[in-house]
């Protein structure tokens, strides 16, 4: 792999299409009645939806419990990758890796403490590549990890045409806004809320959807194509979500992980003691032993319930966003990429949260909708997609795509 991406080539479609045009099908996005007219526009727009800590617990990945009708609907028009794995189950290293198309060994970021442009190499990013090729690039919510790993600016000005948007209510995420059993407000892990009662009367992902829709409305009449990245916060902890979503998952319907015990002989290095969960007030009160726990089984069920409820809340926000795209008649000329920065263990082998290298923590949903091109795979794919090298891997994938359809 070369140190820098190749010089900007003429094709306007960008990495998603280039790297993932391995499947060529033909269909119309059923939500949008307008017939596709490939001559209507030269450059497709790109909507990248990047979710925080979402494992593929989604209907479209065969989960029978989780309600995710909007993401499933997107999946039904997309190429869905069954074997997509993040490079590392931690936000900053994973995001810097896939946004630069380089492994953590190259970006030299395994934590949160350095900015790749000064620490390892002045690598271009996917949005930067679009920006340098005539796109208006926009960031809403958590796209780059905040802090020094993106120079406290989400890699501005290199990646974005104007300053990224962050929802104002994000600052309350870790404060005492969760009603506990004692009737008082706590900084809990489990945090179903009445949205009317929380500070500002809204939640970060709702604000991000609203801002993204505002930007889409603005871009509708723009002469330039756009690359809009929308970074959703849920289901990242705390599980702070509108409480009505809890009703979708009655506790009596929630099972434990199929293998909830820490296995005998597990090498300690393979295990991560989920310290971020332990810091929450409701978990602290359980006095769980470090490093292995266990978490009491009724609380395990509650964590799973709240994770799934957060996923359904997220799904609703994705639905609002995609409906707006449709209402604005942009679905016929916008590529939609949907993914997450890593997964999350929900009690499998006694493991919780991210950080480990088990599949549940590293596997991510990944799908691409390309107007007029994509259709779901006829069967589950077997190939690994290691999140690498979007700039460099085009020719091989293009060839296999061509032969697949012929």
Ligand X SMILES: *[C@@H]1O[C@H](CO)[C@@H](O)[C@H](O)[C@H]1NC(C)=O
List 3, 181, 221, 287, residue binding ligand X (CB under 6 A): 287
List 44, 48, 50, 52, residue binding Ca ion (CB under 5 A): 52
Nearer to ligand X, 60 or 213 (CB): 60
Quote the distance between the C-alpha of residue 304 and its chain's center: 19
Task: Name the burial class of residue 42, with classes exposed (0-12), middle (13-18) and buried (19+) by CB atoms within 10 angstroms of its CB.
Answer: exposed
List 53, 154, 155, 351, residue binding Ca ion (CB under 5 A): 53
Nearest 10 degrees: Cα torsion 38, 72, 365, 79: -30
Residues from 285 through 344 that contact Ca ion (CB under 5 A): 341
Pick from 212, 227, 250, 261: nearest CA to 133:
227
User: Does 91 engage in binding with Ca ion (CB under 5 A)?
Assistant: yes
The answer to whether 91 is a known catalytic residue is yes
Angle at which helices 204-219 and 297-327 cross, to 10°? 20
Rounded to a whole number of angstroms, the minimum distance from the CB of residue 251 to ligand X is 10
DSSP state of 194: -
The answer to whether 329 is a known catalytic residue is no
Rounded to a whole number of angstroms, the minimum distance from the CB of residue 162 to ligand X is 15
The one catalytic residue in 16, 77, 145, 233 is 145
183 binds, among Ca ion, ligand X, none (CB under 5 to 8 A by kind): none
287 binds, among ligand X, Ca ion, none (CB under 5 to 8 A by kind): ligand X
Q: Is the dihedral of CA 81, 87, 88, 90 positive or negative?
A: negative
Q: Which residues contact 208 (CB under 8 A, 6 or more apart)?
A: 140, 141, 165, 167, 230, 231, 232, 233, 317
The window from 73-81, 247-255, 304-312, 348-356 that contacts ligand X (CB under 6 A) reads 247-255
Rounded to a whole number of angstroms, the minimum distance from the CB of residue 390 to ligand X is 16
Return the beta strands (E) in 159-299 as ranges: 178-179, 185-186, 190-193, 226-232, 239-242
Contact pattern from residue 135 through residue 174 relative to ligand X, giving x for each residue in contact according to CB under 6 A and a dash for the rest = ----------------x------x----------------
Residue-by-residue DSSP string for 38-98: TTS-SS-EEEEEEESS--S-SGGGT-SS---HHHHHHHTTSEEEEEEE-SSSSHHHHHHHH
Pick from 90, 81, 55, 66: nearest CA to 345:
55
The one catalytic residue in 16, 60, 91, 191 is 91
User: Does 250 engage in binding with ligand X (CB under 6 A)?
Assistant: yes
- In the bound state, the residue with its beta carbon closest to Ca ion is 91
Beta carbons of 195 and 242 less than 8 angstroms apart: yes
* Residues binding ligand X: number (CB under 6 A): 11
* Residue 253: CB atoms within 10 Å: 11
The window from 34-42, 236-244, 248-256, 320-328 that contacts ligand X (CB under 6 A) reads 248-256
Rounded to a whole number of angstroms, the minimum distance from the CB of residue 247 to ligand X is 8
Nearer to ligand X, 38 or 253 (CB): 253
Rounded to a whole number of angstroms, the minimum distance from the CB of residue 39 to ligand X is 33
Residues from 89 through 128 that contact ligand X (CB under 6 A): 117-118, 122, 124
Q: In angstroms, rounded to a whole number, what is the distance separating the alpha carbons of residues 96 and 154?
A: 10
What's phi and psi for 327, nearest 5 deg? -60, -30
Contacts with ligand X, residue ranges (CB under 6 A): 117-118, 122, 124, 151, 158, 248, 250, 253, 287, 289
Which residues form the catalytic set?
91, 145
List interacting residues with Ca ion (CB under 5 A).
52-53, 91, 341
């Amino acid at each position: 792999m070369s140190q820098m991406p190749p010089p900007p080539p003429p094709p306007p479609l960008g990495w998603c299409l280039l790297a993932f045009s391995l499947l060529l099908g033909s269909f119309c996005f059923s939500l949008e009645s307008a017939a596709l007219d490939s001559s209507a526009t030269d450059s497709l727009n790109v909507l990248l939806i990047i979710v925080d800590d979402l494992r593929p617990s989604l209907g479209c990945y065969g989960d029978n419990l989780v309600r995710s009708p909007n993401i499933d609907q997107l999946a039904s028009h997309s190429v869905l990758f069954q074997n997509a794995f993040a490079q590392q189950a931690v936000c900053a290293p994973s995001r810097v890796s896939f946004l630069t198309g380089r492994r953590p060994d190259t970006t030299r970021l395994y934590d949160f403490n350095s900015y790749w442009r000064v620490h390892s190499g002045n690598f271009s990013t996917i949005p930067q590549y679009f920006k340098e090729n005539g796109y208006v690039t926009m960031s809403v919510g958590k796209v780059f990890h905040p802090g020094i790993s993106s120079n406290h600016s989400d890699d501005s000005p290199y990646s974005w045409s104007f300053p990224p948007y962050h929802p104002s209510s994000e600052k309350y995420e870790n404060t005492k806004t969760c009603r506990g059993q004692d009737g008082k407000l706590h900084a809990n892990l489990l945090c179903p809320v009445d949205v009317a009662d929380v500070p500002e009367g809204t939640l970060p992902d709702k604000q991000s959807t609203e801002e993204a829709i505002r930007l889409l409305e603005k871009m509708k009449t723009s002469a330039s194509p756009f690359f809009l990245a929308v970074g959703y916060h849920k289901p990242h902890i705390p599980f702070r979500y509108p409480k009505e979503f809890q009703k979708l998952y009655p506790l009596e319907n929630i099972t434990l992980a199929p293998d909830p015990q820490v296995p005998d002989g597990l090498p300690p290095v393979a295990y991560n003691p989920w310290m971020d969960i332990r810091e929450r007030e409701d978990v602290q009160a359980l006095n769980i032993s470090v490093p292995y726990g266990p978490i009491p089984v009724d609380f395990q069920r509650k964590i799973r319930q709240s994770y799934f409820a957060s996923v359904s809340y997220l799904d609703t926000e994705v639905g609002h966003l995609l409906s707006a795209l449709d209402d604005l008649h942009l679905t016929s000329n916008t590529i939609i990429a949907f993914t997450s920065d890593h997964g999350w263990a929900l009690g499998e082998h006694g493991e919780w949260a991210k950080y480990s290298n088990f599949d549940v923590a590293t596997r991510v949903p990944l799908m691409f909708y390309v107007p007029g091109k994509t259709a779901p795979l006829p069967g589950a794919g077997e190939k690994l997609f290691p999140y690498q090298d979007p700039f460099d891997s085009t020719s091989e994938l293009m060839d296999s795509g061509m032969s697949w359809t012929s």
